[in-house]
Amino acid sequence: MSTADLQSASRWVDDHGECLYRYALVRVRKPEVAEDLVQETFLAAVRGYEQFGGRSSERSWLVGILKNKIVDYFRKLGRETSFTDMEFLSDEFSEKFVSVGFWNHDLGPHEWKPEPDEVMHRAEFWQVMRDCLSRLPEKIRAVFTMREMDGVPSKEICAILSISDSNLWVMLHRARMALRECLEMHWFDTPAGGTT
């Protein structure tokens, strides 16, 4: 690789490093893992620069590489240990239901206001979202992130993580329950969340 190419690679780190790092961090949550993934992305980009035909922007190309690195990271986790987590929230908030299985009316979902378009402009909301996602156990958060943040089809997630459809549905159900509860408690039921 020429000095000029090395200078380009160094410029990528300055121009795109922060964006890629945040992209990775919201998905894996561990700063050291996010840094490693960004580093691997740049290394892969340098090695495969000839394949970058300029059809997309430099950043889109780098994000594409990072996406694959993140999937590889989750795939590796799935190979090393079982990616199934059936212990988390196994009672599925049973206290919220009366014995026959209907909602206990006092504990059912509250009405959420304001509308999503309004909260999306508020930095505090995203901080609450981040904190609530951080509370999910790693495997549960990983499946939720892939499915809901990145829109990966459920069949594909099962293949990446080597888990069954039914295990995935249970994990997603509990992730959604826990996140819903956390957002309600820490945002929608608070004065900050209820007002604009």
Partner 1 sequence: MLVKFIGKHTPKCREMIRILSQSMDEPLPLMMRIKKRLHFLICCWCQRYEEQLHYMRRTAREFPKHADEASDVPFSTEARERIKRKLTENVR
Among 53, 80, 120, 195, binds partner 1 (CB under 8 A): 120
Where does this chain touch partner 1 (CB under 8 A) — which range of 23-31, 53-61, 72-80, 81-89?
A: 23-31
CB of 101 to partner 1, least distance (A): 3
Torsion of CA 183, 131, 16, 33, to 10 degrees: -130
Nearer to partner 1, 48 or 79 (CB): 48
- Tell me which residue of 183, 88, 185, 188 sits closest to 132, measured CA to CA: 183
Do the beta carbons of residue 143 and residue 160 sit within 8 Å?
no
Among 86, 149, 159, 192, binds partner 1 (CB under 8 A): 149
111 forms part of the interface with partner 1 (CB under 8 A): yes
180 forms part of the interface with partner 1 (CB under 8 A): yes
Do the beta carbons of residue 154 and residue 165 sit within 8 Å?
yes
143 forms part of the interface with partner 1 (CB under 8 A): no
- Binding residues with partner 1: total (CB under 8 A): 61
DSSP 56: S
Alpha helices in the chain (DSSP H): 3-28, 31-47, 58-80, 116-119, 123-135, 138-144, 154-161, 165-183, 191-194
Structure tokens at 138: 């790693």
Structure tokens at 141: 């958060």
Q: Whose structure tokens read 């509860």?
A: 181
5 forms part of the interface with partner 1 (CB under 8 A): yes
Positions in the binding site for partner 1 (CB under 8 A)? 1, 5-6, 9-10, 13-14, 17-18, 21-23, 25-26, 31, 35, 38-39, 42-43, 46-47, 92, 94, 97, 100-103, 105, 108-112, 116, 119-120, 123, 125-127, 129-130, 133, 144-145, 147-149, 151, 154, 168-169, 172-173, 176-177, 179-180, 183
